[in-house]
Structure 1
Amino acid sequence: MPFSGEPIVQITNASIFQEDKTVLNDVNLSVEKGEFVYLIGRTGSGKSSLLKTLYCDIPLHMGNIKVAGFDIDKIKRKEIPLLRRKLGIVFQDFQLLQDRSVAENIYFVMKATGWKDKSKMKSRLSNVLMRVGLGAVATKMPHQLSGGEQQRVVIARALVNEPSILIADEPTGNLDPEVSDGIFKTFEEINKSGTAVLMATHDFKIIENYPKRTLRCEKGSVFDSAATPA
């Protein structure tokens, strides 16, 4: 599938750190608008640290990263919430508020990102839940849902602000294969609507069944999996 225009993610000569340890050196890569890219590698290879750097959970000390129009190496603390409104972030461990309903979990993100009109919030809630196939769970608590349903709520929450890119860190890591397949198809549908997806995964069955461009973290570097690390 051809892509054109400015990349949604552009990384140039970046070093990625985890605390005071360099985990990736001289990273150069891009993700085009509307592209779907896998990020693979062993545990500890730097996948999660790279993703966290993209949404400023880990600071960038060396190199240049541009994400959704923001220069991560120059970004000010007050601008980070503005960046994250353009991103959808999906975690392996869901990170849902267990004492709040599905609707309240999603409203929490809306309020934190500037939503105020209650009628628009209600409409958007219905829209994102329908989009992930969960139109009837708004009043349920997270513990009343299966793992797959909870992950769909996380995806719905990530879609609230119509992000330019979804960043997903092992989104099927805690799910069985059949459920994982359904979750992945949800990501594909989101991608087909124009949202880029950058997904870290160990799920090689998914990669085999749904081949996409694949980046590998290995030996302190990131490279296209078709290439050979230096």
Structure 2
Amino acid sequence: MSNRFVKFENVGMRYGMGAEILQDISFVLEPGSFHFLTGASGAGKSSLLKLLYLAHRPSRGIVSMFGDDVTTAHRTALPRLRRRIGVVFQEYRLLDHLSAIENVAMPLRLAGGGDDHKIREHVEELLMWVGLKDRMHAKPPTLSGGEKQRVAIARAVIAKPDLLLADEPTGNVDPQMARRLMHLFAELNKLGTTTVVATHDLELVHEMGGPVMHLQDGQLSSRHLPERARGPVSATDPSRPNLSANLSSDLSS
């Protein structure tokens, strides 16, 4: 089996007995790479992300992740693989009975990531960075769409996953916050997290540059845009915490 980080080989996907939504999808995500996923509504972006975060298996072809062939893996092996993946869902999927800070802390608590004081300090710093200093103790039903999105993003990145998948992560925030969130993804990527961002925001894609996977009619094409703005977007903001130090800190120390 290939030792590539993530590899799709001639993958097809359909729901039930319907027509294939994804057709002959092949690509490799190298460790520590950053990719945009683009395409019109209905092109199959969310379906491809579902394969990547192991919510579905392909109808045909081979999907290899972290050295395992997930196409044939027993379902009991999938939770172990999913723990290495951070996901930003379009619909947020926050727990309504928990506060923002409790939602974001959950991946660290499930992973046994240090004592409560360190976890809380870590989560508070990240929530402050995404502009939610005054909303940390609010529960999802009282948050706006943009606030929920930022909580979901913080939850996805807090444990520094091996693979980050973000489905339209800037769709409900203003342009300034969108760039701040891309800064966060870029910082996490610099720490080694392989990152895939699905977006309709072609202006942001061209501003950032880099590899682009484009879906059209269920088929994938690739191109590489000049990385004109990757430096400025991910540059350190002296008014904010050092995310590299924050996200890479060993909470169990």
- Output the TM-score relative to the length of structure 1: 0.83
Counterparts of 1:30 and 1:16 in 2: how far apart (Å)?
A: 17
- Measured in 1, the distance between the counterparts of 2:67 and 2:120 equals 27
- From 21, 45, 48, the equivalent of 1:47 is 45
1:157 aligned to 2:155? yes
1:76 deviates by 1.8
% identical aligned pairs: 33
Partners of 1:9 and 1:66 within 8 A in 2:
yes
Match of 2:234 in 1: none
The answer to whether the 8 A contact 1:129-1:156 is kept is no
Q: Deviations over 1:73-95 (max 9, x none)?
A: 01222222111110000112322
Cα distance, 1:61 vs. partner?
Answer: 2.5
Distance 2:177 2:162 in 1: 25
Q: Note if contact 1:148-1:183 (Cα within 8 Å) is conserved in structure 2.
A: no
CA distance in 2, matches of 1:159, 1:191: 10
User: 1:100 matched to which residue of 2?
Assistant: 98
C-alpha contact (below 8 Å) 2:37/2:45 kept by paired residues:
yes
Structure 1 unaligned regions, length at least 5? none
> Whole-Å Cα distance in 1 between the matches of residues 25 and 124 of structure 2?
36
* Residue 126 to residue 78, structure 1, CA distance change in 2 (3 Å): farther
CA distance in 2, matches of 1:98, 1:200: 25
Whether the 8 Å contact between 1:106 and 1:125 is mirrored in structure 2 is no
Contact kept in structure 2, 1:54 and 1:72, CA below 8 Å? no
Aligned to 2:115: 120
Q: Which residue of 2 aligns with 1:7?
A: 4
Which amino acid counterpart does residue 194 of structure 1 have in structure 2? Answer: G
8 A Cα contact 2:85 2:164, kept in partner: yes
Shift of 1:146: 4.8
* Counterpart in the other structure of 1:224: 222
Alignment coverage as a number of residue pairs: 219
Distance 1:129 1:187, change over 3 A: farther
Asked if residue 18 in structure 1 is aligned to residue 15 in structure 2, the reply is: yes
SS of structure 1 residue aligned to 2:20: strand
CA distance in 2: counterparts of 1:154 and 1:121, whole angstroms: 20
1:194 to 192, 195, 216: 192
Amino acid at match of 1:18: Y
Aligned to 2:228: none
Aligned CA-pair RMSD = 2.5
TM-score w.r.t. structure 2 length? 0.76
Q: Distance in 2 between the 1:154 and 1:68 partners?
A: 24
